[in-house]
């Protein structure tokens, strides 16, 4: 199972780039993530978004990054935390995917402590979601 093409839920932060401009980034997946250049929508700082993983730069390395295509802002009240026993772990080239066993149409996310524990061991983490996107996208 590859992470490319999978939908994931991430939290974006507004960050100043070295050239002085601003960009939205995320570390939700235990590895740096950036917004796909083809996305021209409006985002806000510290917002959660349903995204598709478009590309992984330097696959299998901590120094790489994910390129994400945002689709839809998700409200905090809609997010559910995935707990042990309710997922299957699938490994792919240094990425641990936590595949939900129940309610696959929910907006699942690992707790920050779980993500950080795996990141300290050198793993990127993701919760691939089977949520269907609306037809206008």
- Residue 135: the pLDDT is 56
Q: Residues 70, 44, 75, CA angle at the centre, nearest 5°?
A: 70
Q: Give tens-digit pLDDT for 77-118.
A: 999 999 889 999 999 888 999 999 999 889 999 998 998 898
Tokens 């100043």 sit at which residue? Answer: 16
> Is the pLDDT score of 62 beyond 80?
no
Report the C-alpha gap between 106 and 22 in whole angstroms. 31
The backbone torsions φ and ψ at residue 129, rounded to the nearest 5 degrees and listed phi first, read -110, 140
What ranges make up the beta strands (E) of 18-64?
Answer: 22-26, 33-35, 47-57
User: Higher confidence at residue 134 or residue 56?
Assistant: 56
Q: Give tens-digit pLDDT for 22-52.
A: 889 999 998 899 999 888 888 999 999 999 9
Report the C-alpha gap between 9 and 69 in whole angstroms. 11
Contact 85, 50 (CB under 8 A): no
Contact 94, 124 (CB under 8 A): yes
> Is the pLDDT score of 137 beyond 60?
no
């Amino acid at each position: 199972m590859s992470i490319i093409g999978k939908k994931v839920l991430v939290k974006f932060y507004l960050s100043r780039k070295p050239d002085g401009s601003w960009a939205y980034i995320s570390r939700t997946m235990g590895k740096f993530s950036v917004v796909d250049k083809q996305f021209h929508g409006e985002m806000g700082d510290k917002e959660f978004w349903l995204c598709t993983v478009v590309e992984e730069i330097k696959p299998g390395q901590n120094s790489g990054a994910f390129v994400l295509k945002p689709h839809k802002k998700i409200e905090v009240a809609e997010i559910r935390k995935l707990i042990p026993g309710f997922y299957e772990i699938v490994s792919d080239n240094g990425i641990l995917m936590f595949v939900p066993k129940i309610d696959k149409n929910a907006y699942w996310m690992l707790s920050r402590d779980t993500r950080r524990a795996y990141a300290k061991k050198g793993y990127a983490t993701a919760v691939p979601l089977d949520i269907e996107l609306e037809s206008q996208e």
